[in-house]
């Protein structure tokens, strides 16, 4: 049956869901949706439809292929599906936005939008285009993290010493409006070919310092099962690759993609990790929780990488509740990202001080498992920089003054008999029994200053004082 979104509108759906709740003992995913599903026991999963009383079978709604085939890709389809309408002037602005940054929302994720007050709905803001995306600030960039400049071969970003980012897909189940890779996602020019994937695998194989591979895109779980299985098999054959991570928003926007078959494939390739991106407690529906359960039961460690978004989750209470519920579902809050300086994201960006405020409300106020690391992914490819409230008040040679989450000041006495030693990475002479039996990578940055007896400073290229000093020496004049 060909399904049109307009067939699913149902103004009395919440009333029906409420009546069914007594039988199913659970709540519905969305109160005012076109298709109304009460998430609960399988026998109680019911859909109600307006008009000719046609029904979508459970297996259709929960079939991720059906969801993808019926994705909402136009404003008109969104209006018919949700019953939300836009003024003619606004429609023109929305169409211009979609021409630059395409629209795609799964029916499942759209079903979470609450019609009343939808403009402030966190799901709506993440999924539906906003004409503010066309306002490009002078400091915004197509590639703010310089992933392309740090790419030794197409599809690979090698920024950190022992790990690489491997872009294996440019497609997503939903085009997040805050995506840092809006320049690539959904663009047919960026679809990775099999040859490109093989070139990336070859690069990883030829660089033995790479021990960690992060599969991303797009969304790697948009790949067919057998193709993903092939990529993971090839990576598993590389001896120096110790762990593979997958970055996917499928548990959030299309949890039905987490099938038993997919989980079985992933389980074959341990050790494998999966990081997802829940940004608001509203996204943790029963379907999402079931997807997380399948992955966790398969022994796949789960992490979450939230993005701090203005008007969505820039609230200490929202972030605390989200992280606590994630831990409850065996997902470790990993990162809280400052929104990147990608084109068209200025309306999403908060001051870094807001992130500090949120971290202040988490540390000590909830369990450490529910506290992510707040990071700024430095523009220009500088990598992730952790940012935290300052808990060191002062210190001297024998005492450190600290403060806790309550504001209580306390002191920590430094040891009198500690014998200082520095690590020059000469493990043969070291008395510590670590038995690493591997080649040490050279230190960089501040870590190099700490261990080197010769390096006393680290000076940026183009430093004016250094240039002036060089000119003075060249001219044979020593200036004070």
Give me the residue spans of the domains in the chain.
5-128, 156-386
Q: What 8-state DSSP symbol labels residue 105?
A: B
> Contact 353/315 with Cβ under 8 angstroms?
no
pLDDT tens-digit series, residues 415-472: 988 887 766 666 666 767 666 656 667 777 888 777 776 777 888 888 887 777 777 7
CA distance 27 to 469: 72
Question: Could you tell me which of 131, 129, 13 has the C-alpha nearest to residue 82?
Answer: 13
Measured in whole angstroms, the distance separating CA 177 from the mean position of its chain's CA atoms is: 13
CA distance 319 to 326: 10
Residue 26 pLDDT > 50? no
Question: Could you tell me which of 308, 369, 330 has the C-alpha nearest to residue 178?
Answer: 308
Q: Which residues are designated catalytic?
A: 159-160, 163, 172, 176, 179, 181, 340, 377, 384
Question: Could you tell me which of 230, 275, 223 has the C-alpha nearest to residue 248?
Answer: 275
The third-level CATH classification (topology) of the domain covering 156-386 is: TIM Barrel (3.20.20)
pLDDT tens-digit series, residues 342-360: 988 999 999 999 999 999 9
Torsion angle of the four alpha carbons 5, 8, 9, 12, in this order, in degrees rounded to the nearest 10: -160
CA distance 325 to 318: 11
Percentage, residues of the chain above pLDDT 70: 80
CA distance 155 to 241: 17
pLDDT of residue 16: 34
The more confidently predicted of residues 477 and 180 is: 180
């Amino acid at each position: 049956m060909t399904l049109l979104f307009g067939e699913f509108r149902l103004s009395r759906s919440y009333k029906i869901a409420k009546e069914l709740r007594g039988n199913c003992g659970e709540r519905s995913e969305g109160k005012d949706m076109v298709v109304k599903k009460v998430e609960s026991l399988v026998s109680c999963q019911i859909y109600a439809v307006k008009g000719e009383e046609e029904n979508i079978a459970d297996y259709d709604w929960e079939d991720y292929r059906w969801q993808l085939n019926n994705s909402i890709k136009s404003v008109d389809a969104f209006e018919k599906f949700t019953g939300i309408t836009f003024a003619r002037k606004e429609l023109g602005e929305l169409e211009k936005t979609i021409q630059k940054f395409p629209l795609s929302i799964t029916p499942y994720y759209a079903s979470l939008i609450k019609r009343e007050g939808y403009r402030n709905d966190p799901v709506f803001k993440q999924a539906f285009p906003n004409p503010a995306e066309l306002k490009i600030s002078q400091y915004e960039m197509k590639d703010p993290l310089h992933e392309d400049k740090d790419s030794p071969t197409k599809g690979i970003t090698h920024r950190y010493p022992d790990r690489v980012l491997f872009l294996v897909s440019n497609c997503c189940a939903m085009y997040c409006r805050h995506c840092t890779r809006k320049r690539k996602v959904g663009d047919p020019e960026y679809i990775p070919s099999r040859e490109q994937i093989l070139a990336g695998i070859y690069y990883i194989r030829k660089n033995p310092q790479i021990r960690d591979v992060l599969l991303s895109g797009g969304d790697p779980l948009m790949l067919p099962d057998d193709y993903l299985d092939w990529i993971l098999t090839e990576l598993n054959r590389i001896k120096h690759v110790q762990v593979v991570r997958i970055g996917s928003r499928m548990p959030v926007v299309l949890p039905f993609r987490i099938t038993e078959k997919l989980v079985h494939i992933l389980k074959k390739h341990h050790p494998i990790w999966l990081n997802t991106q829940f940004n608001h407690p509203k996204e943790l529906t029963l379907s999402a929780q079931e997807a997380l359960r399948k992955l966790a039961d398969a022994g796949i460690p789960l992490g979450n990488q939230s993005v701090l978004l203005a008007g969505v989750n820039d609230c200490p209470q929202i972030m605390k509740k989200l992280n606590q519920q994630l831990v409850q579902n065996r997902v470790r809050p990993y990162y809280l990202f400052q929104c990147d300086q990608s084109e068209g994201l200025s309306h999403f960006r908060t001051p870094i001080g807001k992130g500090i405020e949120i971290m202040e409300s988490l540390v000590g106020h909830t369990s450490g498992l529910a506290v992510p690391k707040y990071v700024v992914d430095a523009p220009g490819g500088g990598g992730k920089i952790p940012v935290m409230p300052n808990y060191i008040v002062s210190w001297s040679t024998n005492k450190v003054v600290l403060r806790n989450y309550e504001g209580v000041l306390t002191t920590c006495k430094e040891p009198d008999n500690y014998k200082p030693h520095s690590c020059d990475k000469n493990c043969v002479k070291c008395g510590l029994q670590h038995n690493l039996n591997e080649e040490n990578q050279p230190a960089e940055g501040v870590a190099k200053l700490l261990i080197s007896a010769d390096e006393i400073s680290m000076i940026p290229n183009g430093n004016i004082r250094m240039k002036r000093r060089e000119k003075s020496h060249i001219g044979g004049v020593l200036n004070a």
